[in-house]
Structure 1
Amino acid sequence: MGMENDVAILKKHLKTSVRKLKLGRKWVFQMDIDPKHTSKVVAKWLEDNKVKVLEWPSQSPDLNPIENLWEELEKCVRARRPTNLTQLHQLCQEEWAKIHPTYCWKLVEGYPKRLTQVKQFKGNATKY
């Protein structure tokens, strides 16, 4: 995905998501430091749109609840054994739609415990 695509995704979805989630004005955007996310084009768009960004280390699955969500999606899709890209795409959409918001809430709710464990294990892998 190119940097322009990242900006297009941000333009199309970020403020809409903030509004739908009723976050108000006091929210912080989280992203890792993967080079595709930290490009000058993306950084400029975030700055121009006054988006407060929480700096985040890359490769930190223990700290990022979305990684658990991706893992759950992958497990559900893999269990259905897609045989081609079209079927993979369809199954991903179907399984994503089945993920209940309470599952997402539980991931976020467990965040303080996850932070404590990461600190306890000095940044090494935890049970999460």
Structure 2
Amino acid sequence: MLWGCFSAGGSGALHKIDGIMREENYVLKQHLTTSVGKLKLGRKWVFQMDNDPKHTSKVVTKFKDNKVKVWEWPSQSPDLNPIENVWAELKKHVRARRPTNLTQLHQLCQEEWAKIHPTYCGKLVEG
């Protein structure tokens, strides 16, 4: 399982989550902080989730307590969430490179994620 994010300025960090994503090992805040720094977002940004039940656990809902502004969004609406377009693009490029094992799959995902152009991300945010 992978966790990633993006902004109008490009793709953030991509993190591999080993095993089942459970509340106790879900370290979204750490990954989000890394991406905010990488993307140089400063303080004026809003976090949008897809509202998958695992993302709405008590750990994640504490974001508001930590002054992370979360965009109110319809529950589980992948057809509206622009990250779904990024995942589809990533899958297309990784599939074309034909990984043969999990280690290679992860490596290719990292490489292709890094190649996502900021212009593409900007268009998704504008849309």
Task: Please report the TM-score for the alignment, with normalisation by the length of structure 2.
Answer: 0.70
C-alpha displacement of 1:24:
4.0
Q: Which residue number corresponds to residue 9 of structure 1?
A: 28
Deviations 1:61-118 (A, max 9, x none): 3321111010000001111111211221121112112211111112112x1xxxxxxx
| SS of corresponding position for 1:53 | coil
Structural mapping, 1:12-91, within 5 Å: 12-44=30-62, 46-91=63-108
| Partner Cα distance (2:109, 2:90) in 1 | 7
Query: Given that residues 47 and 68 in structure 2 are in contact (C-alpha distance below 8 angstroms), is that contact kept between their aligned partners in structure 1?
Result: yes
| Partner Cα distance (2:73, 2:82) in 1 | 13
Which amino acid is 2:25 matched to?
Answer: N
Q: Structure 1: state its 5+ residue gaps.
A: 112-128
C-alpha displacement of 1:4:
2.8
Higher CA-based Rg: 1
Q: Structure 2: state its 5+ residue gaps.
A: 1-20
More helix by share: 1
Query: Given that residues 32 and 55 in structure 1 are in contact (C-alpha distance below 8 angstroms), is that contact kept between their aligned partners in structure 2?
Result: no
Higher normalized contact order (CA 8 Å, seq sep 6+, divided by chain length): 2
RMSD: 2.0
**Runs of 4+ residues deviating >3 angstroms:** 15-26
Query: Given that residues 46 and 68 in structure 2 are in contact (C-alpha distance below 8 angstroms), is that contact kept between their aligned partners in structure 1?
Result: yes
Query: Given that residues 78 and 84 in structure 2 are in contact (C-alpha distance below 8 angstroms), is that contact kept between their aligned partners in structure 1?
Result: yes
C-alpha displacement of 1:5:
2.9
| Partner Cα distance (1:89, 1:23) in 2 | 26
